Structure 1
């Protein structure tokens, strides 16, 4: 995706409500437009993931996440931990804005969000102008794909665009922490 035409093709896929595959800090992710219910439902169907589990949003900056997060509910004493960890591979579960759709939050009144430091994802979010849904590229309960070839074999035409750029080098998916309590959901 190092050239502009590839970036443009990935953005076009997102704008059309399609699902793309892209590299993140540690694993390949499946992503789509978080505001497009049909796109999110398609992603959940591809992954065989129940909507009740909720999804992660990945962004270039915190401003892109403000539409989905109830920022007023974040205590001042928690903000330093959150904002000092970004950009990076730390996902925070925060209070969701009342307007955040259930197809993103699932059964929860929270939303999992991350400001990434992965250059490819940053460029995608900058060009798209908002965050992406970000979930590991695998069928629920199975191992994550480790290459573009493996992803294409597993997902074929279900994924409209494959962003063929390197992973970020982390060995584990992002840590997920509760912004209110600090409890670790995934370490």
Structure 2
């Protein structure tokens, strides 16, 4: 479990399908709900995408304005994107957060992590998933717990999710980041 700019999250190496399966089992997450890829920067994110010229312009603009930060960008998946049942075959959700503990871990593994919020699938959490709630829900079933190191990141909601597929910007979920 590790902190992000919004919710505490469960994470694993994205290319390891068996580890992703364990994460899904722990979270009780349906396999048809894909994981999100957390990257270090826009260039790393673009390496996992297949962007049309229109999508690339939108991607670069939004990444320059809001990354690192609580914004997920859904784009067409490129050849480098993980190719197993825990990722969508057509699209990939990419995030670049500013949380220092998360960024240090991404540097330590020298690449992205597959992540999802640290709650039980299908349950509602009032507010964001905190370190304490994540530990209560998953404590002894998780191999590594990364404690929070940043002070409040200023977020009050889960991340904003925006789709850029087809060269059109569509807000899928509104969070604190307002995309215009």
2:26 to 38, 46, 50: 46
1:184 aligns with 2:164: no
Aligned twin of 1:168 = 153
1:105 aligns with 2:87: yes
Query: Retained in 1: the 8 A contact 2:7–2:130?
Result: no
2:49 to 69, 77, 83: 69
For residues 109-133 of structure 1, the C-alpha deviation after alignment (integer angstroms, 9 at most, x for no partner) is 0000011111111111011101111
Q: Normalised by the size of structure 2, how large is the TM-score?
A: 0.81
Query: Retained in 2: the 8 A contact 1:104–1:111?
Result: no
Q: In structure 2, how many angstroms separate the alpha carbons of the residues matched to 1:76 and 1:66?
A: 8
Structure in which a larger fraction of residues adopt helix: 1
Query: Retained in 1: the 8 A contact 2:42–2:63?
Result: no
Query: Retained in 2: the 8 A contact 1:90–1:174?
Result: yes
Post-superposition offset of 1:26: 1.7
Q: Normalised by the size of structure 1, how large is the TM-score?
A: 0.78
After the TM superposition, which residues 107-146 of structure 1 pair with which residues of structure 2 at under 5 Å, given as runs?
A: 108-144=89-125, 146=129
Residues 1:81 and 1:61: Cα distance change in structure 2 (over 3 Å):
closer
1:32 aligns with 2:19: no
Residues 1:154 and 1:97: Cα distance change in structure 2 (over 3 Å):
same
1:94 aligns with 2:75: yes
Q: In structure 2, how many angstroms separate the alpha carbons of the residues matched to 1:146 and 1:96?
A: 28
SS at match of 1:185: strand
Structure 1 unaligned regions, length at least 5: 1-20
Root mean square deviation of aligned Cα: 2.2
Q: In structure 1, how many angstroms separate the alpha carbons of the residues matched to 2:123 and 2:73?
A: 24
Residues 1:147 and 1:62: Cα distance change in structure 2 (over 3 Å):
same
Residues 1:83 and 1:94: Cα distance change in structure 2 (over 3 Å):
farther
Aligned length: 166
SS at match of 1:23: coil
Structure 2 unaligned regions, length at least 5: 175-180
